[in-house]
């Protein structure tokens, strides 16, 4: 029997908690009940009452808390460390990785969380090797997943590990869902940072927001800031942690994503609109940043009419 505990901590996403229960029930159905799966929802307030039991895996679901690092969870962290020492696998999804990271079990190891939490996570846990572009990272004894709906990917990975791949695939077919995804990259929006405190850099950034991108260059940004070029390049990198050239590239690709998703204009036209004279260069950079081609992106996220 596979024993799975799902921790219903404060602010845990209920749809993920109960969705995981349903997914594991479907997996048990898919294997014709040849392998039993026992799923228990454990309230954080009750964890001190269940020591000495032996789950195979403990799952920390996503959170609806906008500030996931502010909660303490001291007893839960102690609880997780104890069961890890007993050989239990620990898994987290989205903001749940903040709790798992407090155990120090992710130090010097790769992990993932929701891409929007990446900067907060890096500041809070600098020893963790964060791979925010990944949807799921399996380190055998600890598994992390990124994204609020990545509980599906994690659940399928658990089915694959404790049952087998065929059962996992049968589960996806029965539930009409895809096998576990690998990357968050197609979902990650480029969100410029404006709260860095450098007014001259912000001035250039805001100018870019309402500017035709067809002929914009780094030199234009320098001119809009009113700074000397070397000063601008140094202060821009310090403020945003990107070079102006890289920033402009990401800004262009983000604009392209919007055009691809909301219009039917040709790929060549999109390329021209955002400032690429060479469509092949646009395709190359778009794929490099999003890990999906412009055509595939439009097919997945674009309008249908």
Residues 31 and 99 in one domain: yes
Residues 121 and 243 in one domain: no
Residues 45 and 101 in one domain: yes
Q: Between 165 and 150, name the one with better pLDDT.
A: 150
Do 183 and 134 meet the contact criterion of CB atoms below 8 Å apart? yes
User: How many independent structural domains does the chain possess?
Assistant: 2
Share of the chain above pLDDT 70, in %: 98
CATH code where residue 282 lies: 1.10.10.60
175 in a structural domain: yes
Residues 124 and 271 in one domain: no
Please tell me the distance from the alpha carbon of residue 118 to that of residue 185, in angstroms, as a whole number: 13
pLDDT digits (tens, 9 = 90+) for 185-217: 677 778 788 888 899 999 999 899 888 898 899
Residue range(s) defining the domain that contains residue 231: 199-301
CB burial readout 219-229, b (16+ within 10 A) else e: ebbbebbebee
Element (H, E) at 5: strand 2-8
* pTM (predicted TM-score): 0.70
Please tell me the distance from the alpha carbon of residue 213 to that of residue 208, in angstroms, as a whole number: 8
Q: Is 199 exposed, middle or buried (0-12, 13-18, 19+ CB in 10 A)?
A: exposed
pLDDT digits (tens, 9 = 90+) for 212-236: 898 899 999 999 999 999 999 999 9
> Which residue, 288, 200, 273, 268, is CA-closest to 236?
200
């Amino acid at each position: 029997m596979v024993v799975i505990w799902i921790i219903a901590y404060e602010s845990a996403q209920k749809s993920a908690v109960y969705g995981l229960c349903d997914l594991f029930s479907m997996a048990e159905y898919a294997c014709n009940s040849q392998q039993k799966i026992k799923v228990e929802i454990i309230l954080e307030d009750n964890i001190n009452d269940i020591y000495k039991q032996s789950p195979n895996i403990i799952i920390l679901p996503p959170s609806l808390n906008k500030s996931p690092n502010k909660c303490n969870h001291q007893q839960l962290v102690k609880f997780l460390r104890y069961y890890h020492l007993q050989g239990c696998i620990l898994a987290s999804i989205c903001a749940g990785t903040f709790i798992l990271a407090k155990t120090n079990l992710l130090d010097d190891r790769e992990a993932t969380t929701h891409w929007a939490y990446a900067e907060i996570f890096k500041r809070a846990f600098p020893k963790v090797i964060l791979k925010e572009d990944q949807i799921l990272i399996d380190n055998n004894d600890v598994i992390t997943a990124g994204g609020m709906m990545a509980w599906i990917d994690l659940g399928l990975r658990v089915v694959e590990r404790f049952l087998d791949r065929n059962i996992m695939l049968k589960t996806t077919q029965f539930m009409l869902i895809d096998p576990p995804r690998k990357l968050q990259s197609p979902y990650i929006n480029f969100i410029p940072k404006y709260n860095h405190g450098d007014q001259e850099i912000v001035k250039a950034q805001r100018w870019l927001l309402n500017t035709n991108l067809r002929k914009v260059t780094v030199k234009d940004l320098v001119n809009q800031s009113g700074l000397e070029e070397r000063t601008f390049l140094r202060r821009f990198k310090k403020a945003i942690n990107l070079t102006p050239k890289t920033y402009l590239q990401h800004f262009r690709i983000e604009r392209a994503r919007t055009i691809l998703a909301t219009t039917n204009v040709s790929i060549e036209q999109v390329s021209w609109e955002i400032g690429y004279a060479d469509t092949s260069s646009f395709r190359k950079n778009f794929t490099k940043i999003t890990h999906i081609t412009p055509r595939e992106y439009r097919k997945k996220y674009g309008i249908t009419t």
